Amino acid sequence: MTTALLPSLAESVPVIETAPADGVLSLLWLIIALPALGAAVLLLGGRRADAWGHLLGVGTVAGSFLLSVLAFVSLMGRGAEERSVSQHLYTWVEAGSFTVDAGLLLDPLSALFLLLITGVGGIIHVYSVGYMAHDPRRRRFFGYLNLFVAAMLVLVLADTYLGVFLGWEGVGLASYLLIGFWQHKPSAAAAAKKAFVVNRVGDLGMALGVMLLFATFGTTAFAEISAVASEASDAVLTVLGLLLLLAACGKSAQVPLQSWLLDAMEGPTPVSALIHAATMVTAGVYLIVRSNFIYEAAPVAQSAVVVVGAVTLLWGAVIGCAKDDIKKALAGSTMSQIGYMMLAAGLGVAGYAFAIFHLLTHGFFKANMFLGAGSVMHAMDDDVDMRHYGALQKMLPVTFLTFAMGYLAIIGFPGFSGFWSKDKIIETAFSENLVVGLAALLGAGITAFYMTRLMLMTFFGEKRWDKSVHPHESPKVMTVPLIVLAALSVLGGFLLLGNWVVDWLEPVVGHAEHHELPVSPLVLTTIITLVVAAGVALAWFLVGKRDVPRVAPANVSVFTRAARADLYGDAMNEALLMRPGDRFVGGVTTFDDSGVDGAVNGTAATFAGMSGRMRRWQNGYVRSYALSLFGGALLVLVVLLAVNLG
């Protein structure tokens, strides 16, 4: 029915038809196997592997990167219609009519992700060799990192929703292990637990979604579902879309499941860079783009995605304005940028490609900035408070330059990668809905504000260092990755050259019709740039011109207070969920103690009391026993007579 009303819809949703993997692509499984093997060796090898563990960790991911490049090149060599390749590994689940095959799907979307994960991941692995050099558990760290890379690769390469779920859970586990890596710190352990629990809520949506998919379509394979997705009822598709959105919110730290991301900064900085900036948090966006055949048929769910994206991009931006912890400020920024990606993904066929484009550029510049923050922390004795920084430009020149590249990218300075990707998203937003477009525009301005504030507080101004701190530049093993990522932040825009990324992803997301903008693109770009400039100027006046106090002032406006408290996200969670849950559990415990136990003990006590009283009948006197006998005989007699005479 849907097909008849909107014929263009059916045409624009591509059906996945795959060719078998041959040639170099037959090594597809190896891309996952290498880091998985690395994780196994490093985690099971024990202290014997301490000496060379980190090298193995880097090596496996480097190997996967090489294979990913080969796979990408191989795909490029094929025609546009033949770019979906699948490799069947084995039959995974066989339970009556429910059959799930373990197989891999390589198409333009997953190829891009492969490059991102293994490439940026490899760079961060190299960085970690230097960053974690003094940590006695470095081998274990690399084991966990490899585990993460393997799970993430499973997530993007799986050809069934169940396979995605496997990777989904795997990255959740790796995230938990890595956030709580410094397990002796109670705050780290608590943060890991929080991340896991909040993710669980999202995972619930994923699990229910998978079950509903199976119940509706009888399969969880992308190829098969994409063919028949539009035939399901609107209600089912809407529910599916919302469930998958819930899952994406959990993994990508979108409102309402955003509370874990800032706490996740307890983990080592490479973890924050890899997992909580470039890859894991983007898994939600991947899921939505991959499920485009469902979302295209469920406009209500799509609108929900847009709303979530818009709200989160403003939420994250506001939080980022008031954070003095450099990592938390960057985390708020991540939340906001992923909001942009979700927004784009929710805009339908027009926005999918730009969402992925922004995902890639964000991966570059955010990883760049996180690693740069790590370098700064390394110089400042692991202090994260920006109020203790200042005037680091001269002391850390390489770090400053590379960080500046990332900064210019994120605020959307013309020519840098972020400029291209964010502008495209704001354009698409305006062409669909004015309010959404204005929200995205505002977000850009706030982004400029807080990022400038961060730069000013860290690298410029007066020295506000602790007495014992002597900032020095990081070793080459850390600065070279920074340089590579900075280059990508600058040049990442080439992906849009000749609309390449849009054409590349068209077999996966479909062809978007051209929508007219209310204003011409050039005018829009100018407006955006002016808003960004306004944000930068505001930061300069409020932060750069004034002295930055070393201790955070307590007497602040209500907005600042709200932003410091994460816009009361934690408070709401506690009030809505934790406290009622606590009281409920307390009530259940009390019921168990006094109700159930009381009933059981009461029954026992009743019987004991009764028996205590009844045993007094046995007074030892034969004559009283004889009296009871006599009474009983009387009863029997009466009954006999009653029966016989009555």
Partner 1 sequence: MSETPFLVLSAILFTIGAVGVLTRRNALVLFMCVELMLNATNLALVTFSRVHGNLHGQVTAFFVMVVAAAEVVVGLAIIVTIFRTRRSASVDDASLLKY
Partner 2 sequence: MIAFWLLAPVMVAAALGVLFARKAVHAALLLAVVMIGLAVLYLVQEAPFLFAVQIIVYTGAILMLFLFVMMLVGVDASDSVVETIKGQRLFAIIVGLLFGSVLVLGVAQVSVGAVVGLEAANADGNIQGLADLLFSRYAIAFEGTAALLITAAMGTMVLAHSERLKPRLSQQEMAAQRMRDYADSGKHPGPLPAPGVFARHNAVDTPALLPDGSTAELSISRVLAARGTVRSAPHLADDIEELTQHMHDDGSSNIPGRPDATPKGPLEGDPSDRRDDGEVQP
The residue ranges that bind partner 2 (CB under 8 A) are 619, 621, 623-624, 627, 630-631, 633-634, 637-638, 640-641, 644-645
Which residues inside 527-586 make contact with partner 1, applying CB under 8 A? none
Site for partner 1 contains 620 (CB under 8 A): yes
Q: CA–CA separation, 554 vs 544, rounded Å?
A: 20
Q: Which is nearer to partner 2, 605 or 635 (CB)?
A: 635
The rounded distance, in Å, linking the Cα atoms of 65 and 115 is 7
Q: Residue 466's CB: how many other CB atoms inside 10 A?
A: 11
Spatial neighbors of 94 by CB under 8 A, at least 6 apart, are: none
For residue 622, the minimal CB distance to partner 2 (Å) is 10
Q: Which is nearer to partner 2, 568 or 630 (by Cβ)?
A: 630
Q: Do residues 246 and 284 touch, judged by C-beta distance below 8 A?
A: no
Q: Which does 645 bind (CB under 5 to 8 A by kind): partner 2, partner 1, none?
A: partner 2
Q: Which helix (H) or strand (E) holds 19?
A: strand 19-20
Which residue in the block uniquely carries the two structure tokens 């040049």?
Answer: 491
Shortest Å, Cβ 638 to partner 2? 6
**Taking CB under 8 A as the rule, does residue 645 contact partner 1?**
no
Partner whose footprint covers residue 552, from partner 2, partner 1, none (CB < 5 to 8 Å by kind): none
The piece of 198-206, 223-231, 329-337, 619-627 that touches partner 1 (CB under 8 A) is: 619-627
- Near partner 1 by CB under 8 A: residue from 553, 616, 644, 646: 616
**Is-contact 375 445, C-beta < 8 A?**
no
Non-local (6+) Cβ contacts of 220 within 8 A are 100, 160, 161, 162, 210, 213, 214
| CA distance linking residue 139 with residue 48, whole number of Å | 10
How large is the greatest C-alpha to C-alpha distance in the chain, in angstroms? 120
Which CA distances in Å does 14 have to 11, 499, 501?
7, 19, 17
- Site of tokens 């709580």: 180
- 644 belongs to the binding site for partner 1 (CB under 8 A): no
Rounded (5°) CA angle 149-153-154:
120
Among partner 2, partner 1, none, what does residue 641 contact (CB within 5–8 Å per kind)? partner 2
Contact 334, 281 (CB under 8 A): yes
Rounded least distance, CB 646 to partner 1, Å: 20
Give the 3-state secondary structure of 368-434: HHHHHHHHHHHHCCCCCEHHHCCCCCCCCHHHHHHHHHHHHHHHCCCCCHHHHHHHHHHHHHHHHCH
Which of partner 1, partner 2, none does residue 618 bind (CB under 5 to 8 Å by kind)?
partner 1
| Among partner 1, partner 2, none, residue 468 binds (CB under 5-8 Å by kind) | none
Tokens 């900035």 correspond to: 369
The entry of partner 1, partner 2, none that residue 530 binds, CB within 5 to 8 Å by partner kind: none
Closest separation between CB of residue 579 and partner 1, Å? Answer: 54
Query: What 3-state class would DSSP assign to 160?
Result: strand
435 versus 633: smaller Cβ distance to partner 1: 633
Q: Which stretch binds partner 1 (CB under 8 A): 133-141, 494-502, 505-513, 626-634?
A: 626-634
Query: Does 630 engage in binding with partner 1 (CB under 8 A)?
Result: yes
The reply to whether 615 sits near partner 1 by the rule CB under 8 A is: yes
Which one of the spans 58-66, 115-123, 601-609, 622-630 is the region binding partner 1 (CB under 8 A)? 622-630
Q: How far is the CB of 609 from partner 2 (least distance, A)?
A: 22
CB of 215 or CB of 645, closer to partner 2: 645
Q: Are 482 and 269 in contact (CB under 8 A)?
A: no
The listed partner (partner 1, partner 2, none) that binds 523, CB under 5 to 8 Å by sort, is none
The residue within the footprint of partner 1, chosen from 621, 643, 644, 646 (CB under 8 A), is 621
Smallest gap, in angstroms, from Cβ of residue 639 to partner 1?
Answer: 18
Q: Which stretch binds partner 1 (CB under 8 A): 271-279, 465-473, 590-598, 625-633?
A: 625-633
Instruction: Give me the least distance between CB of 601 and partner 1, in Å please.
Output: 24
> How many residues lie near partner 1 (CB under 8 A)?
11
- Binding partner 1 (rule: CB under 8 A), the pick from 626, 635, 639, 641 is 626
498 near partner 1 (CB under 8 A): no
256 in Cβ contact with 247 (< 8 Å):
no
Segment interacting with partner 1, rule: CB under 8 A, options 19-27, 327-335, 514-522, 620-628: 620-628
222 contacts: CB under 8 Å, gap ≥ 6: 16, 105, 159, 160, 161, 290
The C-alpha atoms of residue 441 and residue 443 are separated, in whole angstroms, by 5
State both tokens at 234. 């609107």
Whole-number CA gyration radius for the chain: 31
Q: How far is the CB of 577 from partner 1 (least distance, A)?
A: 57
Contact positions vs partner 1 (CB under 8 A)? 615-616, 618-623, 626-627, 630
